[in-house]
């Protein structure tokens, strides 16, 4: 199966090992070499079991379109190549279908792409959850919270022109159908 997105074919021509658990030998050098090999082919996501590692490409890649969201929607986490959408969909479905609270932790050094990753996660949830005037209003408020926070808490650093200078914890509340009904951001 191939999905052609711009110049990328994200569902074929997989380079390296997509799940580092399968590296042989499993050494730090092999792990780094695998990340580099994948990165050089614009494959910025690599699994370590059910954790996804992303390498910031410092450029916009066409990996976050409606078509890609639809490919990852309701799919098994390992059915398609590693992607932040796969992790997000798995957490969303566990919350919605099994009524299990979920937590996605995004960590990394300055400039690693944590803020962008959180935006991608929120965009995915907004796309796959329900529709309706009240739901859409809540989604829009959640999506617009990032630019407001960035306006007051970002600064230019040596690694990033728009670096967040704060940590944040986002708690999004969902109803029994999996639709967002509100949220709280704490920094």
Helical packing angle, 133-153 and 114-128, nearest 10°: 170
CA contacts within 13 A on the Cβ side of 18: 16
- Using one digit for the tens of pLDDT, what is the confidence trace for 7-41? 445 556 689 999 999 999 999 999 999 999 999 99
Is the sign of the CA dihedral 172, 144, 115, 76 positive or negative?
positive
Is pLDDT at 1 greater than 50 in this prediction?
no
- Using one digit for the tens of pLDDT, what is the confidence trace for 40-86? 999 999 999 999 999 999 898 999 999 999 999 999 999 999 999 99
SS3 137: helix
Q: How far is CA 168 from CA 114, 132, 154, 171, 187, in A?
A: 10, 28, 13, 10, 4
CATH of segment(s) 1-104: 3.40.850.10
CA gap 162, 152 in Å, rounded: 11
CB 53 within 8 A of CB 25: no
pTM of the model: 0.82
pLDDT at 84: 97
User: Annotation-wise, does 113 bind a ligand?
Assistant: yes
The CA-based dihedral angle spanning residues 129, 102, 46, 32, taken in that order and rounded to the nearest 10 degrees: 150
pLDDT at 183: 83
User: Annotation-wise, does 132 bind a ligand?
Assistant: no
Task: Kindly list the domain boundaries of the chain, sorted by start residue.
Answer: 1-104, 122-187
User: Annotation-wise, does 115 bind a ligand?
Assistant: yes
CA gap 52, 43 in Å, rounded: 12
Question: Which has more confidence, 108 or 140?
Answer: 108
User: Annotation-wise, does 114 bind a ligand?
Assistant: yes
- Using one digit for the tens of pLDDT, what is the confidence trace for 116-125? 898 899 889 9
């Amino acid at each position: 199966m191939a999905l052609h997105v711009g110049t990328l074919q994200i569902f074929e021509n997989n380079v390296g090992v997509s799940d580092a658990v399968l590296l042989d030998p499993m050494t730090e050098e092999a792990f780094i070499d695998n990340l580099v090999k994948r990165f050089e082919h614009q494959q910025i996501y690599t699994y370590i079991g059910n954790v996804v590692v992303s390498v910031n490409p410092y450029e916009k890649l066409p990996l976050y379109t409606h078509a890609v969201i639809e490919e990852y929607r309701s799919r098994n986490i390992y059915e398609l190549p590693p992607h932040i959408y796969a992790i997000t969909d798995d957490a969303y479905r566990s919350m919605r279908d099994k009524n299990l609270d979920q937590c996605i932790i995004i960590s990394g050094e300055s400039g690693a792409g944590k803020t962008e990753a959180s935006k991608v996660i929120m965009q995915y949830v907004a796309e796959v959850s329900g529709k309706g005037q009240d739901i859409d209003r809540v989604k829009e408020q959640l999506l617009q919270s990032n630019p407001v926070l960035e306006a007051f808490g970002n600064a230019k650093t040596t690694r990033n022109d728009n670096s967040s200078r704060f940590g944040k914890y986002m708690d999004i509340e969902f109803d029994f159908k999996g639709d967002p009904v509100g949220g709280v951001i704490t920094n």
